[in-house]
Amino acid sequence: MICPKCKSENVTIQIVNESKLVKAHHSFIWWVLIGWWWTFIKWIFFTFPALIFKIFGIGSRKKIVNTQKRINVCQNCGHTW
C-alpha cells in the first residue's frame, strides 16, 4: 500500500466497525421531566413486543449485519483515505 499523498509505503490499515451506537447524553432536568416515563414507554413499546417475538420465534432469521470499513492510515504524513 502506497500513500497517494506522499508516496510513502509506511501505511497501516485500520478496520473500523460502522455500526457503532452513539449514546446521547441528556441533562438531569430532561430525565426528571421526560426521561423516566419516556424510558418506560419505550420499554413497553419496544422491549415488550421484542420479548414476545423472541418467545414465539418471530424474526429469528434476522441478522445483525456489521459493515466493516477499511481505513488506510499513512504513518509518514498522517493522511487517511
Question: Which residues of the shown chain bind Zn ion in the complex (CB under 5 A)?
Answer: 3, 5-6, 8, 74, 76-77, 79
| Beta carbon of residue 45, minimum distance to Zn ion (angstroms, whole number) | 50
Nearest residue to 50 via CA among 42, 6, 17, 69: 42
Grid coordinates of 21: 451506537
Judged by beta carbon, residue 9 or residue 58, the one nearer Zn ion is 9
| Beta carbon of residue 13, minimum distance to Zn ion (angstroms, whole number) | 14
Judged by beta carbon, residue 39 or residue 75, the one nearer Zn ion is 75
Other CB atoms within 10 A of residue 5 CB: 13
